[in-house]
Each structure stands twice: as C-alpha cells, then as structure tokens.
Chain A
C-alpha cells in the first residue's frame, strides 16, 4: 500500500499555525512535507521551523525534484502526509516529475475577497500554470481551515 496523502496545499508561508494547529490533527497526519522549487532555507532555520510541530509529527523540507524520490523511497503505508508547496511553480515542477493529487488547496486571501474568476486572483503567468495543471485533472479550491467552506476555482 502506498502512502496516504491527506492534504496538498499551496502556501508561501510553508509551515505555520494553520497547518500545525488545524490541519495536522484534523486529517490525522503524522508527516508534513514542505516543497520549494529550490532550497532557500538554511538548515538552522529549518530546525527552528520544525519546532512548531510536535515531536510525533515528522517534517521533511524538500525541493520539487526531491518529492517523488521521497515518496518512492522514504515513505511507507503508515505515513499520513500533508504536502505544502510554496507556490504554483514548485507544484508544477513536481507534477512534471510525476507527482499527482486531484485537489489542491489554496488558503483564502487575508484581504476582503470576492472570488468570481481565476484571473481575479492569479497573475497571467501563474494562471497559465494553473490552467496547465487543471488540464491534467488537478482541481484547485480555496479553503484556509477545516471549518471553512471550499470554493473551487473555475477551469476556463
């Protein structure tokens, strides 16, 4: 049996309280993976960020290219995983590398927000990547914490 991916999220803050406090326990995760296009955090900062998670939850901070090898070689059926991508670009790189998950979560913006169309939220460059991922069968939705409702992003 392969690992159980419980949640995949795009969040430029990577690891923070919403993940540690809410999603972690809500989905029963015992493992959090943060993924960036390239390693930008120094090892000491990585260790500091780990402190926000209890010792029982493992944290692996990976680059996009390291994600699939981790899933293939480091995981097992007991892993219940939350994957947090820093941005759409790092997700795109991982998808090109073979990663797939059917629904990707994006936190609601902190500013007052009325969502009508994907172009209201994404710039042109990012929107192109989103459309390309949607064409591969990946859906995107807004949700911040487990108690929030989900709003799916249009695919046209």
Chain B
C-alpha cells in the first residue's frame, strides 16, 4: 500500500482550491508531504484549532502518522472530516487489495506447481496448502474459462477472491486469455444437481463480468496430484469439441470420446482397409455422418433416422450395406456398434489429415 501515491491524488484535488492545504505528518509532527511545498520539513504541534485539523493515520492498529488539514475557511471541519474519511477508506481498501493480491499470488503459485506434472514438487505443494489452509481431501474440479481475445483479469480476480476463500476456489490467470479455477465441490452432488449447480455458478460468474467466453468443467478429483488431469480433461473438450460461448460443458459428457482418442486408429485401419470397401462403394462421408448421428442418440434407429432426415428403413438399408462390407453386426451387437464407430473415426481422421495436407 503506497500512502504517498494515495496522498498525491488528494493533493491534486486540494490544489484546485486555494483555501485548503493538506499534509502528511510523521509521529513527531514533521510535515513529510504537503500540498503547499513550503510547509514540507516544518513541525506542527498537532493540536486542533479553528484553522488546523489533525487526524491520526492508523494502519494495523498502529499509529504511523497524522493527516493535517489547514484552512481559514469556515467549512474546515466539514471538508477535513470528508477528507479524513476518504483517506481512511482508501487506505483500508488498498490494504484489503494487498491482502487479496497476496492470496492471489499464492493461488498462482499453487496452480503452477499443480500443473507441473514432470516436476511435481510435493513438498512445496503441501507447504503452500498448509499456508493457505486448504482442505487437502476435499473434492475439486477444474474449470477452464477461455476468451478469444486478450483480457485484463485484475478486477475479476480481485472480486473472485473477495467472494471466495482459497479453500473454496483456487484461481489463476494461466495466460492472457484464460482463467483456471479449481472449485471445491460437494461429493454428494448427483449428476443432475451438479448441472444445476454449474448453471447457477455461470450466472454468478456473469455478474462479475465473466461472459462471452467458453466454459468447460473437468473431472472431479480429490488428490492434488490429479488436479492437472482435471485441467487436461477440460482442455481436451475445449480443443476437440465445437463449443458455444457462455454455455457450460462437462467433461463427463465426452468421456467416451476422450478414451477413444487414445486408441491407435492405425490398428483399426490395418484390419478394415483390407475389406475392399473402396471397391464396394462404401461412402466415407456417409459412414462418418451415420456414426455421428447414431452416437448422439445412443444408436436409437428412429431418432437417428430423424436426425439424418431419412426414413428408418433407408437407414437400416444403409447400415445393412456396411454390415456386409465390414462383416460387423452394427444393429445387433455392442461390439459391432463400437467397431462401426471406430471405422468412422479412422475415416474422419484421414479426412482431417487430408484437409491439412498430411499424407496418409
């Protein structure tokens, strides 16, 4: 907290009025700063009078000096009290902000340690956790919030820290466009309640100015060493799914896709490329479209047909064609369904690679 910086704002205002002078005095009454420079270095007796007003400056219960107002104006008392109140308020506000910033620095540090998986510094993390008085067994979830444009997060971060203890919310700006939260959640929340909770959460964030952004909730974790995973899960959704702004997305809704992303698709291609599907006029785009629609409706044929604007029988006909080409039972067996989706994924990947110029 820079008292002289605050005081200089007061001086700028007072100098517009020739009837008043203000000064900062040390404990002995020596004028350290003053709107009237000729007074600097002089000593005041610090006894109130009709022309002089003195107000103790107290920080953390300790008197550090005195605020002095001098005027021959009849409004001295009114103006001096207003100035003193304003000064006290500003000092307290700055001290509060300093404390919040210090808490924010610890949040930044902790998140930095937590995300550093290669060099996971358990001792430093535990020391910080202790200092910040965090419940080390509480469940928390990563919330990744991203804007397309650069942001100034100062006010948002301060407001978040005012409203939430670090135990509730650990927050950091991980770059100029992204915030990362580790929000404490109740382990008793069902899936449905969790969604309701985060819809309300989103509204609270919007009230703080967190809007026009993408919001993804990662997986719930209870161990600090897995917090980075929660963050990675939220990142995966952001990078792999088409998202809309100001809508909360949950990693839990994309878990299967996440697991499938780890599969070696070449292994799938090695098997099914030998089925002469090109000769048998398998349409890659159609396979992708069919698989995407079926996945979205849990393979309910009527709903998939409606999604694709096809008659149900037409859909069945198409699936039957691909069952014969690839020797899989798409409609009847779980294995067939999965295999069909994997084949579609191979084609999707090849299409994407072709679009970006990667030879396959």
Contacts and interface: CB of A to CB of B under 8 A. Distances in A.
B162 A52 contact: no
The 8 closest A-B pairs by CB, nearest first: A28-B159, A52-B86, A51-B86, A52-B89, A17-B89, A28-B208, A47-B13, A20-B89
A51 B91 CA distance: 11
Interface in A28-71: 28, 30, 44-45, 47-52, 54-56
Interface stretch (B39-47, B77-85, B106-114, B303-311): B77-85
A51 B87 contact: yes
Nearest to A4: B207
A16 B89 contact: yes
B13 A28 contact: no
A52 B95 CA distance: 14
Interface of A: 4, 6, 16-17, 20-21, 24-28, 30, 44-45, 47-52, 54-56, 78, 80
* Residue from A25, A27, A56 having most chain B Cβ neighbours under 10 A: A25
Interface string B136-165: 000000000000000000011011001100
Contacts of A50: 13
Interface centre among A6, A50, A51 (most CB of B within 10 A): A51
Contacts of A52: 85-86, 89-90
B153 to A, nearest CB: 12
A44 B85 contact: no
A129 B78 CA distance: 31
Contacts of A78: 209
B96 A21 contact: yes
B168 interface: no
A4 B92 CA distance: 26
Contact of A54 (B79, B87, B93, B156): B93
Interface in B312-351: none
A11 to B, nearest CB: 14
Contacts of B83: 48, 51
A30 B86 contact: no
B93 A28 contact: no
Contacts of B85: 16-17, 52
Nearest to B9: A51
B16 interface: yes
B92 A17 contact: yes
A112 B17 CA distance: 41
A102 to B, nearest CB: 15
B89 A21 contact: yes
A106 B178 CA distance: 38
Interface in B94-109: 94, 96-97
A111 B96 CA distance: 28
Interface of B: 9-10, 13, 16-17, 78-79, 82-83, 85-90, 92-94, 96-97, 155-156, 158-159, 162-163, 207-209
A82 B10 CA distance: 23
A57 B118 CA distance: 43
Contacts of B207: 4, 6, 27-28
Nearest to A42: B75
A44 B79 CA distance: 9
A101 to B, nearest CB: 14
Given A20-B93, A25-B162, A26-B163, A48 B13 contact: yes
A101 B94 CA distance: 31
Given A6-B207, A28-B159, 10 more contacts: A17-B89, A25-B93, A25-B158, A25-B159, A28-B156, A30-B155, A45-B82, A51-B90, A54-B90, A54-B93
Contact of A47 (B16, B78, B88): B16
A59 to B, nearest CB: 11
B208 to A, nearest CB: 5
Contacts of B89: 16-17, 20-21, 52
22 contacts: A16-B85, A16-B89, A17-B92, A21-B96, A25-B93, A25-B97, A25-B158, A25-B159, A26-B163, A28-B156, A45-B79, A47-B13, A48-B13, A48-B86, A51-B9, A51-B87, A52-B86, A52-B89, A54-B93, A54-B94, A55-B9, A80-B209
